[in-house]
Amino acid sequence: MLAIVKFLSDNAAPFTVNIYPFISLYSDPNFPMEYAFFGGSSTPVVDASATYDNMFDANHDTLIWALKKNGFGNLPVIVGEIGWPTDGDMNANIQYAQRFNQGFMTHIATGQGTPMRPGPIDAYLFSLIDEDEKSIQPGNFERHWGIFTYGGSPKYQLNLGMTNSGALVRAKNVNHLEKKWCVLKPSVNLDDSRIAPSVSYACANADCTSLGYKTSCGDLDTRGNISYAFNSYYQKNDQDDVACGFSDLATITMRDPSTASCTFEIMIEADCGISWQIRDQGVNLLLFVFVQLFCTLL
């Protein structure tokens, strides 16, 4: 590691670190909740003359101290990733995500920095949108770091403090497929042996991470859970009728099965009306052919 740090220093390059207070909270049930945010913990950590009332400053300065101890105290540091997920865990929700990200933006907007590294902080919020195929080995929350939904709508308001109100703006010209969903047939008995393998298949090939204890869809009953899995697979396959079969357990409905907290998603419509502004005519033609081929296969 020191060889890498020396290389960065010799080439005037910054050291990039990812800081996730949420992970600390997720990994340790005894982790003090308030310490993960920026409201000022009632039990701050005091280290000599420095006082830390939030996990970000403490994590950040742990790195600064290590760099300084090894002779790289002036190496620039960039926070490459920081954020809070909105689903997939009991502590991953819109309220906490807004609180953390807004608290962080307000924290760095002061330009005060941290006790060991005063001054402006360079940081990148993670992430812009959710990633429905991201590995969930660390936890189901991994697919829900987005500030925007995959359809381009802000999940919550976040003042970035740049211009005007600093409010997030919804993406334009995003169209969804028809308002129809794939659900479990009302006539199906829950003891049907075909249900378990069908749900397993749907979740293995789509995204069911919103199902679970105290997640956004944690209020669903058994039928609701099954329907959510079926619909997730159906939407991922662009509402192909074949994708709503599941051994004749499922049916397509025009009635939205969503609840107050759980949204049964509708897939966005692929937009093939793409215009290119590239000077190289050869490259332009190649891109055009590729896009037309892609859209033909949709």
CA distance 97 to 198: 33
Asked if 201 contacts 230 with a C-beta cutoff of 8 angstroms, the reply is: no
Domains recognised in the chain with CATH numbers: 2-143 (3.20.20.80), 181-253 (no CATH)
User: What pLDDT, on a 0 to 100 scale, did the predictor assign at position 86?
Assistant: 99
The rounded distance, in Å, linking the Cα atoms of 26 and 93 is: 13
Nearest to 82 by CA among 110, 102, 109: 102
Q: What is the pLDDT of residue 292?
A: 44
| Of 239, 231, 244, 253, the residue nearest 186 (C-alpha) | 253
- Predicted structure pTM score: 0.88
Res 288: pLDDT: 40
* pLDDT at res. 293: 45
Contact call for residues 75 and 128 (beta carbons, < 8 A): no
pLDDT tens digits in sequence order for the chain, 298 residues long: 999 999 999 999 999 999 999 999 999 999 999 999 998 777 899 998 899 999 999 999 999 999 999 999 999 999 999 999 999 999 999 999 999 999 999 999 999 999 999 999 999 999 999 999 999 999 999 999 999 998 999 999 999 876 556 689 999 999 999 999 999 999 999 999 999 999 999 999 999 999 999 999 999 999 999 999 999 999 999 999 999 999 999 999 999 999 999 999 999 998 654 433 333 444 444 444 444 444 444 4
Residue 36 exposed, middle or buried by CB count within 10 Å (0-12, 13-18, 19+): buried
- E-strand stretches of the chain: 15-18, 45-47, 50-52, 77-82, 113-114, 117-118, 122-125, 181-184, 250-253
Q: Is 163 exposed, middle or buried (0-12, 13-18, 19+ CB in 10 A)?
A: exposed
Question: Three-class SS of residue 248?
Answer: coil
pLDDT attached to residue 34: 95
Tokens of 159: 């003042």
Tokens of 74: 């002036």
Q: Please choose, from the candidates 9, 14, 41, the residue with its C-alpha nearest in 3D space to the C-alpha of residue 25.
A: 41
